[in-house]
Amino acid sequence: MIIYTYQSVRVLRILKSGEVYRAHRSQKYAHAYDCLVDMLNLNCESPIFGNLRFHRKNTGGSTSNSVKLILKVPKENVWLTEYSEWADFMYMLQFTSPKDYHDLIAGEVDNITKEKLHRTIESLKHQRSPWAYHVPQAILEEIRPEWLSEYKVKL
Residue ranges per structural domain of the chain: 2-153
**Alpha-carbon separation of residue 19 from 105, 142, 147 (angstroms):** 43, 11, 11
What are the residues whose beta carbons fall under 8 Å from the beta carbon of 76, sequence distance 6 or more? none
Q: pLDDT value at position 145?
A: 98
Q: What is the pLDDT of residues 70-108, one digit of tens each?
A: 999 999 999 999 999 999 999 999 999 888 999 888 766
Query: Predicted confidence band at 54 (pLDDT cuts at 50, 70, 90)?
Result: low
Q: What is the pLDDT of residues 112-128, one digit of tens each?
A: 888 999 999 999 999 99
